[in-house]
Amino acid sequence: MFGEDFLAKWWEAVKPVPWPYPLNPALVARKRRQRRLLKRTGVILAISLAGGLAYGYLSNAEERSQAEFEKGMRSMRPGAYAQAAGHFSRSLWIWPDRPEAYLNRGIAERSLGEFEKAESDFQQAADLDPGLWRAYDELASLYRARGDLDRAIRMLTRSIRTQPSTEAFYVRGLIFESMKQHRMAIEDYDRAILQQPDEPFVYRARALARSRMGDRSGADADRERADELEHN
């Protein structure tokens, strides 16, 4: 805050002065100086106030962005995807450097059938955070749905390099199987089982691939293992 001495001097400079009659040139000049000083003071106060407001607004931007993001996550359910996308958009408007918001807005958009927007958001999420493996999985899902299997495989490969997972190996195996690349599919199912050995659907997928490769005993063993896991 300003010191008392400064305020006293400022008041002495701007306090009203008698307006004598006839006009006193010295007092007229003083009043002009006073008006200029008051205008400058007003500008300084306005700038200071605006700066304070801007600082207060920006200093908690990340927290406000997080609050909108959390609202979006709570809205991620059937019938509320548009609302969720709106919250994620507001989160990004406040704080654009939030890859998770792009990822989840993309999921909401995909659920609304807005596939081009979803693809753009998944790509933006991956660009902001190359370690966000789910963004690659989501892109692979879009490409697979539109029949672009080569791009889907590339995205799943990037996902696996970032964070190996049963799901990514399994889905990539399914794609290889649909392309009649049975040996590649089996290799991915093997890796999926190493990641998580108690998923019966992976054994059933590998049984089908083995059967098509002519490995009947291996296919039977996988079916038995899948039955055992489902029974237990």
pTM above 0.75, yes or no: no
pLDDT, tens digit (0-9, with 9 covering 90-100), for 102-141? 999 999 999 999 999 999 999 999 999 999 999 999 999 9
For the record, the structure tokens of 176 come out as 């290889």
Give the number of residues written for the chain. Answer: 232
Give the amino acid at 217: S
Q: So what's the pLDDT on residue 179?
A: 96
Q: 113 in helix, strand or coil?
A: coil
For the record, the structure tokens of 126 come out as 């991956």
What is the Cβ-side half-sphere exposure of residue 6, based on CA atoms within 13 angstroms?
4
Banded model confidence at residue 60, pLDDT cuts 50, 70, 90: confident
User: Hey, what domains does the chain have and what are their CATH numbers?
Assistant: 61-147 (1.25.40.10), 164-232 (1.25.40.10)
Cβ 175 vs Cβ 192: under 8 Å: no
pLDDT, tens digit (0-9, with 9 covering 90-100), for 199-225? 999 999 999 999 999 999 999 999 999
Cα–Cα dist 108/44, whole Å: 47
Cβ 152 vs Cβ 175: under 8 Å: yes
